[in-house]
Structure 1
């Protein structure tokens, strides 16, 4: 088996080391999706006799070093000259202190769920009422094998990625960790991306949040602000804190993204819910009984390859 630093499975301890030599043996099968704006591409193939997804993306150029890059060019090939406009391809001279050109993430072994998630697919708007959540979504969530969250539990238990933890608060119900998200190459502050994982396993999604969780959410917010400022010099006013619905995995977590970061699908209306808004809705919720988050209807995009799509379609939640 091979290891990954993007959604690893619970048997990652049996993984083989990922190296230049091993990646050279990757056999591509097909392109799952690509983005010309971000220089990102997802490739499905085989690695160490296992299905694997390799994500290749150009790293973000550090703004403070942009001038140095221009002074360190090895070759330039001008392909358009029409004064005052010029375009060219350029090659940067390798140096020991130069930032990496590519960020490579690997999912291996890749499951059918991974393949569907990263494949280009048609999407539709879904209206999920509390009743549809109860009849369709809840069964889907409860049907997940807990071993698929093994990589999350390994982080929370300190068995994996311990050196990457930026902040840890202990406690079975009030505990959480903050660490850099694997989508961030940790070079450009404008692309800063952190993830907060809560210790409790009782919160699968934001529908499970109640008034009793307000102290936890406020504690997360304060810790994120302090950590981003102390570790990276990024102030609270430069951060987006949000929660996905539907999330990509059903263990409650909070995304933290620099406001200058280019918007991606997970930050669009319907998918992302600001943490402050969730706290406000919980504060407005009745002291007893379901919270407003549990009672409201959610409208969001859903891909045809998502495991919920057919159930939502049968329940009449897909808008025509």
Structure 2
């Protein structure tokens, strides 16, 4: 369930973050403890989108054909986020013929010009489906994650990590990691696991990503180690056996299960990650999945090589990553002068002094 999503484009101006719908205090207290245990969750019954009352569009990503909407389900007090995304086209000729090239497909002409024709196509109902993610109850942090924001790049030294990022990680109100414990303890998503090594030092669970649409062309998985490591900055030579085991056993498991060779798999880690429990992403090389940009993704092979060359490499290296304007980490870097304060913020500070 890794929900690491960089989105582009807006359908309408986003409301100020402080105007988000929040649960009543009693509900919010329970939600803060563990959203999965909250009895207001709609996931206990069949979800009906006709009961979803939209509040605002958080993001309309025209590149990914994806829209993220905040709202409330009737009969429930807490807010929700619904993400709708158009499916990828199937690669198999049989499925293309069944879904698009048949007598049930409607083709409506818009205009023609010379050899070019522009049409609207309405395929059969089965192939009109959308990939849908429903987050409920959604915390303000969940909602905030889907809002498009201005990006800024940080060139982080290890000194900056110790001074700003490490205290931020320890103090921030992160998403609950109980879902990871549930997977590692065999309580959830066991049907999504394709490989498991229970060794406490080098073991890990490899499972399909929540957002994978089950087509090989978009294959995406994550490896969760049993070792609790916060992020890439903590890695050193003692972790090489773990990283190499994830690299070797993970690729072999995927090749055996899906028939994709190691040379067509992209293995990488994120920094900054969307959640602070070290995990490795596996994706099909031909799939342009979100989060593979140079300012975020670190190839596992490069991470291993860096540590082999310099055991404490990640205590010496400058790591670059992006921060979202207005986020807490962005503000932390503003406070120490790494990022400039905007005019409005400067004027407010001067007026208060």
Q: Give TM-score, length-normalised by structure 1.
A: 0.89
User: In terms of mean alpha carbon deviation, does 12-21 or 238-247 score higher?
Assistant: 12-21
Question: Contact (CA 8 Å) 2:174, 2:275: kept in 1 or not?
Answer: no
Q: Does 1:56 align with 2:84?
A: yes
Name the residue aligned to 2:111: 80
Counting only pairs closer than 5 Å after superposition, residues 207-286 of structure 1 correspond to structure 2 as 207-264=233-290, 266-286=291-311
Gaps of 5+ in 2: 5-30, 342-353
Higher relative contact order (CA 8 A, sep 6+): 1
Larger Rg: 2
Q: Does 1:297 align with 2:318?
A: yes
Map Cα deviations across residues 91-110 of structure 1 (whole Å, 9 max, x no partner). 2223xxx4562110111121
- Out of 150, 156, 177, the residue aligned to residue 122 of structure 1 is 150
Q: Quote the RMSD (CA, aligned, Å).
A: 2.3
Displacement after TM superposition at 1:172 (Å): 2.3
How far 1:70 moved relative to its partner?
2.6
- The answer to whether the aligner puts 1:317 opposite 2:325 as a matched pair is no
Give the direction of change, closer, same or farther, for the CA distance of 1:117–1:205 in structure 2 (3 Å limit). Answer: same
Counterpart residue number, 1:162: 190
Cα 1:126–1:304 change in 2 (3 A) is: same
Equivalent residue, structure 2, for 1:90: 121
The offset of 1:318, in angstroms, is 3.1
Q: Is the 8 A contact 1:176 1:196 kept in 2?
A: yes
State the 1:59 CA deviation. 1.1
How far 1:18 sits from its partner (Å)?
6.3
The alignment's TM-score, normalised by the length of structure 2, stands at: 0.81
Distance apart, 1:262 and its partner CA: 2.0
Tell me the SS of whatever aligns to 2:266: strand
Structure 1 residues 200 and 270, CA gap change in structure 2 (3 angstroms): same
Provide Cα deviations, 1:41-96, integer angstroms capped at 9, x if missing partner: 111111322111111101111111324333234311111211311121122223xx
2:202 corresponds to: 174
Tell me, yes or no, if the aligned pair for 2:2 and 2:274 is still in contact at 8 Å: no
Alpha-carbon offset, residue 11 of structure 1: 3.7
Contact 2:100 2:124 in 1 (8 A): no
Q: Return the offset for 1:6.
A: 6.1
Q: Which residue of 2 aligns with 1:107?
A: 135
Shift in alpha-carbon separation, 1:21–1:310, aligned structure 2, 3 A = closer
Instruction: Work out the CA distance in 1 between the residues paired with 2:68 and 2:42.
Output: 21
